[in-house]
Chains A and B, each alone.
Chain A
């Protein structure tokens, strides 16, 4: 990795986030002006690092599930045998996106109880759409000539999918995953309303005790994570797809 400005910025952001999570008290003077009547300037009702990792874990588990289901569905509805399910799948996935995650929580809690589970369900449903749409577009726009060449040379349907269609659709699929991840890093904060471990706790604590410093800390850590994750998937995307796309 060279010392280009982008890399410097990347390293600085990561260092800032890590520094804050490992030694939050060192940042106390920065946040002190935001507190009143001697309230604590740094979140003190739990370990920030653990909350952040729990938050990240919830988002990543939901993202893996969304990706598997959305990509699988995207592949299925672009095969001749699944084409008739395209409108139905589209409708379902769209509902997942338009149904507010808070409402999903409300519906899910009576069924699966409080904690991580309802949050995972809400994030899973919310994250499907971008990945599904991008998978479908990526597979559908695969050049007809290319598919004909692949079949003409004797690739089976499976070899064609794995060797040609998916690699060519990969940049778009990853773009969908990236979008989904970033949206859900933010959305996951609502999980704290149903007792899931996450950065929402920090924000809610701030709201309850009228402590602006807490709210800002929860928001900033969430935001920095989203930025870093967005960037990381972007790098992965460029590495994987370098060849498929003319510079």
Chain B
């Protein structure tokens, strides 16, 4: 669990992070979103002490982060940044082994860990372990960057616009992979982005920042239905907020059991995608299909519409 308490950072006359408090429960995914220059990176970097705060403190699992030397703290916290920051003179395997080496793991422990991670990120160890970063595609480099951040099994992973350099299709895939990885390893993640869609897609909780202040830190749906500040409503999008709300719920959650007909809708699809599909087919209802191919139930446009307004 990460507890950020009244953190503040000044550069010269400007307060870049202004009295920010937030808690990320163990195993949760928090996203910090805001415009460029709003202080997101500075806030994130105060968690692993790449930046030392002027006031306030950070607790990880109840321990003040200032209780140990900064570089030792950082070895326990994964850190991945935009453009991956892979070492060009080291192979993929050596890059991933960076923190385990710093921690003095034995080769016998490091090797299987590298293989496990490469498999988890869909990179065949035989083909990729001994490649150099410049021999990989942008998407592969980014995956190795995240694998490296996770190498020493950190309980906490900090990510600063990790997908910023990827094109939209690869980015979508990278986001899905990250969610799968998080579920698999149970990592607590804090991710910084300026992309609201990314924030809504990834975050259990989303923090909206502007000019160093945290305007609201809440579940994504609550940001839409109960914005704490007009700026939050503007930043999360007023014109398409109903659709955004629909995108937060899966079709499976709204399906009513029983007889069903109409076009097939995967249970994992969002209500937004389900609505789009029904509109496209000119149907007023569809069949929600489980992943194993069985029918879960009926989903009507009326039910979706009812879900698209704030409770």
Contacts and interface: CB of A to CB of B under 8 A. Distances in A.
Interface in A147-170: 148-156, 159, 164, 167-168
Contacts of B3: none
A154 B98 CA distance: 9
A245 B86 CA distance: 13
Nearest to A170: B89
Given A145-B85, A149-B79, A154 B72 contact: yes
Residue among A143, A153, A155, A159 with the highest chain B CB neighbour number at 10 A: A153
Contacts of B72: 154
Contacts of B148: 153
A145 B84 CA distance: 8
Interface string A120-158: 000000000000000000000001011011111111100
Q: Is the interface of A mostly helix, strand, loop or mixed?
A: helix
A29 B89 CA distance: 53
B138 interface: no
A244 B88 contact: yes
A209 interface: no
Interface in B61-109: 71-76, 79, 81-91, 98-99, 102
B89 A244 contact: yes
B75 A154 contact: yes
Contact of B74 (A154, A167, A246): A154
Nearest to A168: B89
Nearest to B82: A145
B134 interface: yes
Given A241-B89, A244-B89, 20 more contacts: A143-B85, A145-B81, A145-B82, A149-B86, A151-B71, A152-B79, A152-B81, A153-B75, A153-B79, A153-B98, A153-B99, A154-B102, A155-B102, A156-B71, A164-B87, A167-B89, A243-B88, A243-B89, A243-B132, A246-B134
